[in-house]
């Protein structure tokens, strides 16, 4: 029988995880159904333009998951499982600073990085690591208890890790081992039935509900699984019409007449799920925890560093104007600000270097005897080249923090009089023993290689 290639393992893993999560959280299935309806409608209404940022088959299968782990060693093991699926750590997100509530984690996202791999299946997992060494959240006594608890648990069975290493090294697995790997991998992210130590869970919850979800139990679990939708405003309305309580807002850029950029996300509120609880006298009682939710997202064009700086400035501007006019909906203010400060067309975004594209020579170049200009804006305007947008494959820290926060039942505590512990991308690379990749470098690489091909074909020296 044929060996199973890495991308097929990734696609199968995403599909099985989706089946498992649908059983655990039935509202997720509704979300997926409504996403499919919306995508079909958008395709019908907009035709092939609907597929400008990914084919319908890619978008329909597309998911991101989120998991949370407690120690660098656990993170390293998660990285091995994802490496088996052709997914590498990309980007560093510090959520400790991004939220008003206490979210003591730093994060990265595991995802495929090559264009062909993304087109085959773009499955990604937003992965957060608890920060017990940050004294703003944990005092030395609690930190020590937490670290001892975490050191005593096993999230990933050794057999899974051995199979994962083999899949990563050989970039495929024989069919029986592929089956075993998938079964163990999905199992590692199921919600455990093991009773939760109630007193310990509550102790951590006083610091942060996220800390309790990570360090209060002896396993990890998929926290949400997010389908991609082509019109998130339509999806939001339809979910609400079905009686599912959504969070108040869509995070990220506003709805506006220009091109979709970066990432817009929204979610339904975390649901109470029955969980067995061990009480201090050793009894097991029925309890409930509210940690898992359903999220949905719409993806737009990746911005360049410059474009992102502009985006961040606009977010700041929207914040200030909203503070001055609290009676006006934030969305409305945001749309106004965007219309004033961002170009309305893909071509202008490209010409001003604000967003990433791949370029190719036009099938119908000018035939008036002129030489192609050297400048990308002029090449586009005069019809020498065409631009294909690069879809944003990553996350936004403020939206991530917003999603975390809107699903927390308590604020938790953060003692800002203490100095933050230093966790950064370099520290995370060290913990993972592999480089956390810079998303901008990945987009730039794709864009630049297409530009070199164009320059060569048109006989231009690139400067
Ligand atoms: C992760 C929240 C962030 C996103 O899409 O921004 C996230 C979590 O809840 O663990 O998934
Ligand atoms: Ni998410």
Is 210's C-beta closer than 6 angstroms to any atom of ligand 1? no
258 and 383 belong to one structural domain:
no
Contact 130, 209 (CB under 8 A): no
Same domain, 55 and 202: yes
Question: Is 350 part of any domain?
Answer: no
Query: From the CA of 403, how far away is ligand 2's center (Å)?
Result: 8
Q: What distance in angstroms lies between residue 328's CA and the mean position of ligand 2's atoms?
A: 28
Residue nearest to atom 4 of ligand 1 (CA): 400
What would the pLDDT profile of 55-104 be if each residue is shown by its tens digit? 999 999 999 999 999 999 999 999 999 999 999 999 999 998 876 767 89
Let me know whether 335 and 232 are in one domain.
no
Mean pLDDT of the 378-389 span: 94
Domain co-membership, 249 together with 322: no
Q: What is the pLDDT of residue 395?
A: 97
What is d(CA 369, CA 362) in angstroms, rounded to the nearest whole number? 16
Does residue 399 have its Cβ closer than 6 Å to ligand 1? yes
Integer angstrom CA distances of residue 359 from 120, 385, 393, 453, 457: 21, 7, 19, 9, 12
pLDDT higher at 246 or 277: 277
Instruction: Indicate the pLDDT class of residue 243, thresholds 50, 70 and 90.
Output: confident
Q: In the prediction, which pLDDT does 293 show? A: 84
- Residue 353 pLDDT greater than 80, yes or no: yes
Residue 225: DSSP 8-state: E
Least distant ligand from the CA of 403:
1
258 and 325 in a common domain: no
Structure letter (DSSP) for residue 262: S
Q: How far is the CA of 402 from the centre of ligand 2 (A)?
A: 10
Q: Is residue 219, in this structure, part of any structural domain at all?
A: yes
Token pair 């719409």 is at which residue?
A: 298
Percent of the chain predicted with pLDDT > 70: 98
pLDDT of residue 415: 82
Q: Are residues 256 and 290 in the same domain?
A: yes
Using a 6 Å cutoff on CB, does residue 93 contact ligand 1?
A: no
135: tokens are 């004294």
Q: Is the pLDDT of residue 463 over 80?
A: no
The answer to whether residues 408 and 326 belong to one domain is no
Query: Ligand 1 in contact with 126 (CB < 6 A)?
Result: yes
Q: What was the ipTM of the complex prediction?
A: 0.99
Q: Does 422 map to a domain? A: yes
With respect to residue 347, please indicate whether it lies within any of the assigned structural domains: no
Look up the domain containing 327 and give its range.
303-342
Q: How many domains does the chain have?
A: 3
The pLDDT of residue 462 is above 70: no
What residues are neighbours of ligand 2 (ion), with CB under 5 Å?
66, 226, 295
Same domain, 325 and 220: no
In the chain, what percentage of residues exceed pLDDT 90?
Answer: 81
Q: Are residues 370 and 238 part of one domain?
A: no
> Are 268 and 323 part of one and the same domain?
no
Residues 110, 254: one domain?
A: yes
Question: Do 53 and 389 contact (CB within 8 A), yes or no?
Answer: yes
Q: Which ligand has an atom closest to residue 220 CA? A: 1
Task: Considering every ligand atom shown, identify the ligand nearest to the alpha carbon of residue 264 and give its number.
Answer: 1
Quick check: 372 pLDDT over 70? Answer: yes
Does a structural domain hold residue 349? no
Which residue's CA is the nearest one to ligand 1's atom 8? 66
Long-range CB contacts (within 8 A, 24+) of 233-241: 234/38, 234/41, 234/42, 235/34, 235/35, 235/38, 235/266, 235/296, 236/266, 238/34, 238/37, 238/38, 239/30, 239/31, 239/34, 239/268
Report the separation in Å between the CA atom of 281 and the middle of ligand 2, taken as the mean of its atom positions. 37
Mutation test of ligand 1: which of 62, 395, 401 has the most ligand atoms closer than 8 Å to its C-beta?
Answer: 395
pLDDT for position 271: 81
Mutate to test the pocket of ligand 1, among 403, 405, 407 (most ligand atoms within 8 A of CB): 403
How far does residue 126's CA lie from ligand 1's centre (Å)?
A: 6
pLDDT of residue 346: 96
Nearest CA to ligand 1 atom 5: 400
Say what the pLDDT of residue 29 is: 92
Task: Check pocket membership of 66 for ligand 1, CB cut-off 6 A.
Answer: yes
Handedness of CA 411, 417, 421, 424 (dihedral sign): positive
Confidence band for 270, pLDDT divided at 50, 70 and 90: confident
CATH number at residue 296: 3.10.180.80
Residue 36 domain flag: yes
Nearest CA to 80 out of 187, 14, 16, 162 is that of: 162
Burial of 356 (C-beta count, 10 Å sphere; 0-12/13-18/19+): buried
Taking the centre of ligand 2 as the mean of its atom positions, its distance from the CA of residue 395, in whole angstroms, is 8
pLDDT of residue 318: 96
Question: How many Å lie between the centroid of ligand 2 and the Cα of residue 462?
Answer: 39
Q: Which residue, judged by its Cα, is nearest atom 7 of ligand 1?
A: 400
Judge if the beta carbon of residue 403 lies within 6 A of ligand 1.
yes
Distance (Å, whole) CA 149 – CA 162: 25
**351 assigned to some structural domain:** no
Question: How far, in Å, is the centroid of ligand 1 from the Cα of 243?
Answer: 23
Residue 118 φ then ψ, to 5°: -65, -40
Write down the mean pLDDT value for the chain: 93
For the CA atoms of 323, 327, 329, 333, the dihedral, rounded to the nearest 10 degrees, stands at: -50
Separation of CA 265 and ligand 1 centre (Å): 10
Strands 124-130 and 224-227: unpaired
In a domain, 373, yes or no: yes
Q: pLDDT at position 12, please? A: 97
Same domain, yes or no, for 376 and 269? no
User: If DSSP codes are grouped into helix, strand and coil, which group holds residue 114?
Assistant: coil
What pLDDT digit, counting tens, does each position of 313-352 carry?
999 999 999 999 999 999 999 999 999 999 999 999 999 9
Q: 8 alpha carbon to ligand 1 midpoint, in Å?
A: 25
How many CA atoms within 13 Å lie on the side-chain side of 389?
26
Distance separating alpha carbons of residues 43 and 56, to the nearest angstrom: 8
Nearest atom, ligand 1, residue 396 CA: 6
Cα-Cα-Cα-Cα torsion 308, 310, 315, 320, nearest 10 degrees, comes to: 160
Q: Between 419 and 362, where is the model more confident? A: 362
Mean pLDDT of 151-175: 97
Identify whether the C-beta of residue 208 lies closer than 8 Å to the C-beta of residue 412: yes
Do residues 43 and 36 make contact, with C-beta atoms less than 8 angstroms apart?
no
> What per-residue confidence (pLDDT) applies to 414?
82
């Amino acid at each position: 029988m044929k060996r199973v290639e890495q991308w097929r393992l990734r696609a199968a893993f995403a599909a099985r995880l989706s089946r498992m999560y649908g059983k655990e959280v039935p509202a997720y299935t509704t979300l997926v159904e409504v996403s499919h309806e919306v995508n079909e409608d958008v395709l019908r209404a907009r035709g092939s333009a609907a597929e400008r940022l990914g084919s319908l088959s890619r978008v329909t299968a597309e998911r991101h998951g989120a998991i949370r782990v407690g120690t660098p060693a656990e993170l390293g093991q998660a990285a091995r499982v994802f490496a088996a699926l052709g997914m590498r750590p990309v980007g560093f997100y510090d959520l400790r600073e991004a939220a008003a509530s206490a979210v003591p984690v730093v994060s990265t996202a595991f995802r495929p990085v090559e264009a062909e791999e993304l087109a085959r299946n773009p499955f990604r997992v937003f992965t957060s690591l608890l920060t017990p060494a940050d004294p703003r959240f944990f005092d030395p006594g609690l930190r020590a208890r937490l670290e001892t608890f975490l050191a005593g648990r096993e999230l990933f069975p050794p057999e899974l890790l051995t199979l994962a290493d083999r899949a990563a090294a050989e970039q495929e697995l024989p069919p029986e081992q592929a089956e075993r790997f998938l079964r163990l991998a999905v199992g590692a992210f199921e919600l455990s039935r093991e009773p939760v130590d109630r007193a310990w869970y509550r102790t951590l919850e006083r610091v942060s509900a996220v800390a309790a979800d990570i360090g209060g139990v002896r396993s990890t679990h998929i926290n949400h699984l997010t389908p991609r939708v082509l019109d998130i405003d339509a999806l939001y309305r339809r979910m609400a019409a079905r009686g599912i309580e959504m969070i108040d807002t869509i995070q990220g850029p506003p709805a506006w007449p220009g091109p979709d950029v970066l990432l817009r996300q929204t979610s339904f509120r975390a649901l109470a799920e029955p969980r067995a609880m061990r009480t201090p006298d050793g009894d097991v009682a029925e309890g409930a925890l509210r940690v898992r939710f359903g999220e949905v997202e719409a993806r737009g064009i990746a911005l360049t560093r410059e474009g992102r700086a502009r985006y961040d400035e606009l977010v700041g501007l929207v914040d200030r104007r909203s503070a001055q006019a609290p009676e006006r909906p934030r969305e409305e203010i945001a749309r106004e600000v965007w219309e004033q400060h961002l170009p309305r067309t893909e071509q202008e975004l490209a010409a001003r270097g604000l967003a990433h594209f791949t370029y190719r020579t036009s099938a119908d170049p000018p035939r008036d005897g002129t030489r192609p200009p050297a400048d990308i804006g002029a090449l586009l305007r005069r019809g020498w080249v065409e631009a294909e947008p690069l879809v944003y494959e990553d996350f936004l820290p403020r939206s991530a923090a917003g999603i975390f926060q809107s699903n927390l039942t308590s604020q938790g505590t953060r003692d800002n009089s203490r100095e933050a512990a230093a966790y950064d991308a370099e520290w995370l690379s060290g913990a993972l023993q592999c480089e956390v990749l810079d998303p901008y470098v990945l987009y730039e690489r794709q864009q630049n290689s297409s530009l070199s091909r164009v320059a060569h074909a048109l006989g231009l020296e690139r400067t």
